[in-house]
Amino acid sequence: MVLSQRIHEAFKGTVERMTGPRTVSAFKEKGVLSVSEFILAGDNLVSKCPTWSWESGEPSKRKPYLPAEKQFLITRNVPCLRRAASVEEEYEAAGGEVLLDNEDDDGWLATHGKPKETKGDEDENVPSMEALEISAKKSLIQTNPSYFGGEEEEDIPDMEDFEDPDNLVESDPATLQTTYLVAHEPDDDNILRTRTYDVSITYDKYYQTPRVWLTGYDESRMLLQPELVLEDVSQDHAHKTVTIEDHPHLPGKHASVHPCQHGAVMKKIIDVLMSRGVEPEVDKYLFLFLKFVASVIPTIEYDYTMDFDLGSSSS
Amino acid sequence: MAQEEKSRSGCGSSSSTILQFLPFNSLVDEGFWHSLSSLKLNKYGIDDSPIPLTGFYAPCSHSQVSNHLTLLAESLPTDENNQSSMPAISRGNRNRCPVPGTLYNTNTLEAFHALDKKSLLKEEANKIWEDIHTGRAVEDSAVLSRFLLISFADLKKWSFHYWFAFPALVLDPPATLVESKRASKWFTSEQAKSVSAACNDWRNSSITADVPFFLVSIASNSHATIRHLKDWEACQADNQKVLFGFYDPCHEKGPGWPLRNFLALICSRWSLKSVHFLCYRESRGFADMESSLVIESLITASQGLNDRQLVPNAVGWEKNKNKYVSRCINLAKSMDPIRLAVSAA
């Protein structure tokens, strides 16, 4: 974590401690949620998409303004079959939807390939994010796929050393011998594609919006370094809006979509819906929110595609 | 599908196709290692007596990945001073069906490697066998799937060596596969609809959501009911078609590992020869008859299974990349105070 991010965290923490949680609804005006609206929308998500559930997290990290058993939402073991970078290349080549990320089209999708003109100043409305340096370098992608045997841990012995002295072998005809390689797509670099993710949604009191966190596991279900999670993030976001920070309810560092623009993006989505004569309902907020998040993490197949009414339609 | 299976394995007659199970896999959340470290430092010290654990699993819910036996921070007993502390688990979470387990955390790497894995596995298998014979497994079916974890927590380097086992009682001779079909093909469409609805009700009730073994009884009018294992006799009296259902964590042809001890229960308690199983799987959190399987199996190994003294052989040490070796994870990046201070600067 770099210094500016740290300072911002300290500032945010202080503000969160000194101000009370939002109690008045500003869902339509600002695209933000009050605490009770977050619970309402979370309950709706859990009932419509039961792979999501409420959890209480670490007791020491519990937020007093949230019910103890409803601190955050999580869905575990979500497949991610391939890396976002490779998908984007194919997608753009096929003229598919691309996230527009400039001042006017904040977070919206272009449906016919990347727009021909891209503005040079597209990053400028994302405050405090420019300074973030996240190393999703190509070299990192090729090596060190998990916490197992990182290059700096020379003292981790080779796998062969773990071979058991009593040479445990179980022979049993009823055990199906599975092959370890279970990749769905062959690839020349031999990196397996099937990772899984735990996706969680917390309430960010400062920005008054939900916030998404990602915990990745490699193909043998070993924890992924948060930096490697960035391979599964849309490359437009990997270097600025997705950061690696302490999870508010769980131990360790996790990748997270920074919520500073969430309110503004949600406001735009709500405005578009209203202009179409749809009256958005606050308990559907998280479905809209997850659809927007899908543009940031396009290859993680968490449950958001259910058919639902966006709100009571007057048309 | 059964035809395919037979021709692929090259076995001529159906009776010689062994019913095979896909091994369970483990997944450990970072929080588990954080909690274990703090317990080791603040509570256990060098006491290396076995620690009760609770693992979690759920039916497979994505067609591309199996579910795993997951350990979380909550899997360990709480840090408080109450001595006989079991993990404090709130029941009823459909995505967290509890599985009891035992942790042997050693004080040295040498002691970790020197653990007698065969006898530890046998000990855990004995518990399952006892629960089958005392009837506890029928009352609380979660005890049918136990697990074992051996570990060495190197708190100086923040690295953890560990190895899981999912003890499964071995039938001798093994059960044979007669037929395996998608549930949507095996049931009539009316039955499939009713089974789906009944399973969804079962999964949505906080009383039954995390009960992983159950009975599916189908009346002559195609109406399906899900019942507890202890209602087996009642189902017989009604002269209904009964399938043995379980939450199947695996996504492939399956069946998954939890069926093994269920099979041992069925043949030692009810001495059945021909059994139908429902390998229950979900899609997006709802019953999915397309990915769920109905398996018909023949059990020939009933001799000896009624004898409580004669514990069947057990298998189940987890393979790591196709080898019987332990795993190691290093969490210095998130646990070492010096590194945390450096990264924070």
Per-residue pLDDT of B205-224, as tens digits, reads: 989 999 999 999 999 899 99
Residue-level pLDDT at B279? 96
Q: Report the range of poorest mean pLDDT among A47-51, A89-93, A300-304, B292-296.
A: A89-93
Report how far apart, in Å, the C-alpha atoms of A242 and of each of A118, A231, A234 are.
Answer: 21, 11, 9
| B333 contact residues in A (CB cutoff 8 A) | 147, 225, 253
Residue-level pLDDT at B213? 97
CA distance between the termini of chain A: 49
Other C-beta atoms closer than 10 Å to the C-beta of A315 total 5
Taking CB atoms and an 8 Å cut-off, how many pairs form between chains A and B? 158
Domain boundaries, chain B: 2-13+172-298, 23-170+311-344
Task: Report the mean per-residue pLDDT for chain B.
Answer: 87
Is A164's CB within 8 Å of B316's CB? no
Does the pLDDT at position A199 exceed 60? yes
Residue-level pLDDT at B126? 94
Does the pLDDT at position B230 exceed 80? yes
Across residues A273-279, what is the average pLDDT? 85
Which of B26, B61, B318 to substitute to test the interface with A, most A CBs within 10 Å?
A: B61
Report yes or no on A101 lying in a domain: yes
Which pLDDT band, with edges at 50, 70 and 90, does B92 fall under? Answer: confident
Report yes or no on A265 lying in a domain: yes
Q: Report the range of poorest mean pLDDT among A6-20, A156-170, B156-170, B252-266.
A: A156-170
Q: Does A190 touch chain B if contact means CB atoms closer than 8 Å? A: no
Q: Does A170 touch chain B if contact means CB atoms closer than 8 Å? A: yes
Is A174's CB within 8 Å of B170's CB? yes
| B26 contact residues in A (CB cutoff 8 A) | 221
Does the pLDDT at position A101 exceed 60? no
Report yes or no on A245 lying in a domain: yes
* B2-13+172-298 and B23-170+311-344 have identical folds: yes
Share of residues in chain B with pLDDT > 90 (%): 66
Residue-level pLDDT at B345? 59
DSSP state of B229: G
Report yes or no on A257 lying in a domain: yes
Q: Using one digit for the tens of pLDDT, what is the confidence trace for B48-77?
A: 999 999 999 999 998 888 999 999 999 998
Does the pLDDT at position A108 exceed 80? no
Which of A147, A171, A218 to substitute to test the interface with B, most B CBs within 10 Å?
A: A147
CA-CA distance, A243 to A147, in Å (whole number)? 19
Does the pLDDT at position B239 exceed 90? no
Does the pLDDT at position A25 exceed 50? yes
| CB-CB contact of B203 with B314 (8 Å) | no
- Choose between B7 and B235: higher pLDDT: B235
Q: Which of A139-143, A177-181, A262-266, B1-5 has the highest mean pLDDT?
A: A262-266
CB within 8 A of A229, min separation 6: which ones?
A197, A214, A215, A216, A244, A255
Residue A71, min C-alpha distance to chain B (Å): 15
Which of A8, A43, A51, A144 to substitute to test the interface with B, most B CBs within 10 Å?
A: A51
- Among the partner-chain residues B94, B113, B325, the one whose CB lies closest to the CB of A50 is B94
| A220 contact residues in B (CB cutoff 8 A) | 320-321
Residue-level pLDDT at A183? 41
Across residues A264-293, what is the average pLDDT? 88
Q: Using one digit for the tens of pLDDT, what is the confidence trace for B95-121?
A: 999 999 999 999 999 999 999 999 999
- Report the alpha-carbon angle B50-B25-B298, nearest 5: 105
Q: Does B21 touch chain A if contact means CB atoms closer than 8 Å? A: yes
Report the candidate in B35, B345, B160 with the shortest Cα–Cα distance to residue A57: B35
Residue-level pLDDT at B282? 94
Which pLDDT band, with edges at 50, 70 and 90, does A117 fall under? Answer: very low
Strands in chain B per DSSP E: 26-28, 51-57, 69-71, 97-106, 147-154, 159-169, 176-182, 213-218, 224-227, 241-247, 274-280, 282-283, 286-287, 293-298, 314-317, 327-330
Task: Report the mean per-residue pLDDT for chain A.
Answer: 72
| A51 contact residues in B (CB cutoff 8 A) | 61, 95, 284-285
Which pLDDT band, with edges at 50, 70 and 90, does A294 fall under? Answer: confident
Residue-level pLDDT at A315? 39
Q: Report the top-level CATH class of B23-170+311-344.
A: alpha beta
- On the CB side of B223, CA atoms within 13 Å amount to 3
| A69 contact residues in B (CB cutoff 8 A) | 90
Report yes or no on A123 lying in a domain: no
Report yes or no on A103 lying in a domain: yes
Q: Which of A248-257, B8-17, B289-298 has the highest mean pLDDT?
A: B289-298
Q: Using one digit for the tens of pLDDT, what is the confidence trace for B134-189?
A: 999 999 999 999 999 999 999 999 999 999 999 999 988 889 999 999 999 999 99
Q: Using one digit for the tens of pLDDT, what is the confidence trace for A234-267?
A: 887 876 788 888 999 998 889 999 888 888 889 9
| A5 contact residues in B (CB cutoff 8 A) | none
Alpha helices in chain A (DSSP H): 3-18, 27-30, 35-48, 84-93, 138-142, 226-229, 235-238, 262-275, 285-294
Which pLDDT band, with edges at 50, 70 and 90, does B87 fall under? Answer: low
Residue-level pLDDT at A235? 80
Chain B residues 53-82 with CB within 8 Å of chain A: 61-62, 64-65, 67-68, 70, 73
Share of residues in chain B with pLDDT > 70 (%): 90
Does the pLDDT at position B298 exceed 60? yes
Is B73's CB within 8 Å of A81's CB? no
> Is A49 marked active-site?
no
Report yes or no on A150 lying in a domain: no
Specify the number of domains making up chain A.
1
Residue-level pLDDT at A93? 59
Is A51's CB within 8 Å of B21's CB? no
Q: Which domain holds residue A183?
A: 15-111+132-137+179-313
Q: Which of A260, A265, A270, A288 is catalytic?
A: A260
Across residues A197-225, what is the average pLDDT? 91
Report yes or no on A158 lying in a domain: no
Residue-level pLDDT at A142? 37
Residue-level pLDDT at A111? 47
Query: Is the domain covering B2-13+172-298 a CATH 3.40.50.880 domain?
Result: no
